[in-house]
Amino acid sequence: MNDTTIRHDLNIYQRYFDLVASGTKTIEVRVRYERLAGMKAGDTIRFRVQESGDTCDVKIIRVAGYESFEALLDGEGPEKVNPTTPRDQQLTNIRNIYGPEKEALGAMAIEIALLTPAT
């Protein structure tokens, strides 16, 4: 990393981690929390599964904001968010993780590319 890139440490569920670590999940979905507002292309993310301790690093390619998770899935393509799950089920799953009060903050699509294999 150079002086202009930042490493962000984020927790992730194992089922999504496995997709990131295999390189098949290229869009990470997050709520537009203030603490994530500074994410930008070129930064890195270290994803960590709390239960297993598994980690992997990804490079941020692009960050895009959306008004809702539904708009995000339509704009980015559900196959990039979770290639193993139909769109409607993905929307349900995301909304089970983030309730309506969180979705009201806005949604972030973070395009990522795998840097290191899972450890």
Name, in order, each residue with C-beta under 8 angstroms of 96's C-beta and a sequence gap of 6 or more: none
CATH number for the domain including 66? 2.30.130.30
In a domain, 22, yes or no: yes
The secondary structure of the chain in percent helix, strand, coil, rounded to multiples of 5, reads: 30, 30, 40
Give the number of domains in the chain: 1
CB 59 within 8 A of CB 22: no
Q: What range defines the domain where residue 14 resides?
A: 7-114
* Mean pLDDT of all residues belonging to the chain: 94
pLDDT tens figures, 7-24: 999 999 999 999 999 999
Whether residue 2 lies inside any domain: the answer is: no
66 confidence band (pLDDT: 50, 70, 90): very high
- What are the tokens at 117? 């294999």
Residue 10, Cβ density class (10 Å: 0-12 exposed, 13-18 middle, ≥19 buried): middle
Element (H, E) at 103: helix 100-103
Q: What is the pLDDT of residues 17-44, one digit of tens each?
A: 999 999 999 999 999 999 998 999 999 9
